[in-house]
A = this chain, B = another copy of it.
C-alpha cells in the first residue's frame, strides 16, 4: 500500500516512476502536435513505454491482441513523438505527435470522429471530421 510520502514523491518529484495498473498498463493520450486534436487513447506496457522513449516513435500495447505494437507497422501511419508528458500520479502519459496520415484504424485522422449530442430520447452521435484518409480494407488486407 502506498503511503502519503510515496504519493508526494510521485506527484512532486522528478523521478520517472510510471504507475502501471493491475494489467501492467498506462493510459496514453496522443494529440496532434499541430492542431492539438486528440488523435487516440491507447495503452502502453513497460516495454512500449521504453521503446517509445528510446525511438521517438509511438509504441503501444494492444489489449485486444495482447501484443506490443509499433503504431503504423501495418498501415505506415506512424507517430513521431514531439513531446511526452507524465501526469500527476504517473499512471497516464500524454504524447504530442506528428501523425503520418491517419491515427484511426477506420481511416480517419482521429479516433474521435463523432460528437455526442444530448436530446430527448437519449444521447446520439453525429459525424465530425469523419473524412476517411484511407480505406481500411486496402490497408489491413491480408
Contacts and interface: CB of A to CB of B under 8 A. Distances in A.
A86 interface: yes
Contacts of A113: 85, 88
A137 to B, nearest CB: 12
A13 interface: yes
Given A16-B124, A31-B38, A86 B106 contact: no
Contact of A92 (B41, B89, B108): B41
B123 A38 contact: no
Interface string A26-43: 010101000111101100
| A-B interface, 10 closest residue pairs, ranked by CB to CB distance from nearest | A36-B36, A85-B112, A84-B116, A87-B111, A41-B92, A16-B123, A88-B111, A14-B125, A38-B94, A53-B118
Interface of A: 11-16, 27, 29, 31, 35-38, 40-41, 53-54, 83-89, 92-94, 104-106, 108, 111-116, 118, 122-128
